[in-house]
Amino acid sequence: MTHSIYASDMDRALPYFQRLGRTLFAPSVDPNTRLGELFERETVEFDMEYAFLSQIDRESESQRYKIVHGAHEILNSTTTVPLSKTYCRETIAHPEGTLAVSDAPAEGWRNDPAYELFGFGSYLGTTVSVAGKTYGTLCFADSTVRGEPFTENEKALVDMYGQWVGYMLSYCDESLTREACIDTIEGRAVSSDGIDSMMDVLSTHTRRVILMALLGDTTETSITTLERGPHRNINRIQLYHKHLPKLAESGYINWDDDADTISKGPKFSEVEPLVQLLNEYEAEFPA
């Protein structure tokens, strides 16, 4: 079963990402619970039994499980297994950092130590990195083979989730527990009003385009550059009288009307992870 989000166009997919944003950036919910809620929903969407966040120790070549969804005798927080006996060893070694196994026996895993230990007939995992170094993996798995092969879009979606976890971990102690993370995460958390502001701002395609233009190392861009970009149907009147003022008022951009340029505003970092998710989605699943 292909993930339902890829059966939708962008306008229908946006509410999905809005609900996702309320889960991932909920200021009153600790990181463990947020990830648990994500796993609970996405195992249904991917039609998989298990989901987990692992931590990998390259010195001891071992893997342990930080957060697990689904009852499995090996996947639990008290278990440490040799990395050589995991599917994730191939995930972190993959050039794209993501591994999809739709039918493990048919794809050569039948005699592999990972298949013998875990019994996964299907697996979809991505590498989680913090500060440029491998932290572990975020994965979905099932004891049965998958009826349909994983699509490139589904792999991209899991990769997005892995990026979010890496973003979250960059503000946490590596233990990813409430005691270690809650003060740091909540100190930077987005308020409920802030989440509502994000949802309102991102509901319009033009405003999403403007914010996407500031992702990455871009510090400033001109309005002319925006208008000459891939989205040439930007309404100039609405841009100047509606979209730019709203983004500036929200604090997501700084707008220099005289120079006709925009740059990242003081609250851009709050909306950036969700804008990145939407940007990845539009790149992989253009309208």
Each residue's pLDDT tens digit, 55-101: 999 999 999 999 999 999 899 888 899 999 999 999 999 999 999 99
Tell me the average pLDDT of the chain. Answer: 82
pLDDT tens by residue, 224-276:
888 776 655 677 888 888 999 999 998 999 999 888 899 999 888 878 877 87
What pLDDT is stored for residue 60 in this prediction? 95
Q: Is the pLDDT of residue 39 over 80?
A: yes
Exposure class string for 7-27: b at 16+ Cβ within 10 A, else e: eeeeeebbebbbebbbbbbbe
Domain regions of the chain by residue span: 28-187, 192-284
**Does the structural domain 28-187 have CATH classification 3.40.640.10?**
no
What pLDDT is stored for residue 128 in this prediction? 95
Residue 253, token pair as written in the block: 């951009």
Report which of 152, 77, 79 is spatially closest to residue 117, judged by C-alpha positions: 79
**For the ranges 43-47, 56-60, 208-212, 217-221, which has the lowest average pLDDT?**
217-221
Residue 227: which residues within 8 A CB-CB, separation 6 or more? 234, 236
Identify whether the C-beta of residue 250 lies closer than 8 Å to the C-beta of residue 267: yes
**Does the structural domain 192-284 have CATH classification 1.10.10.10?**
yes
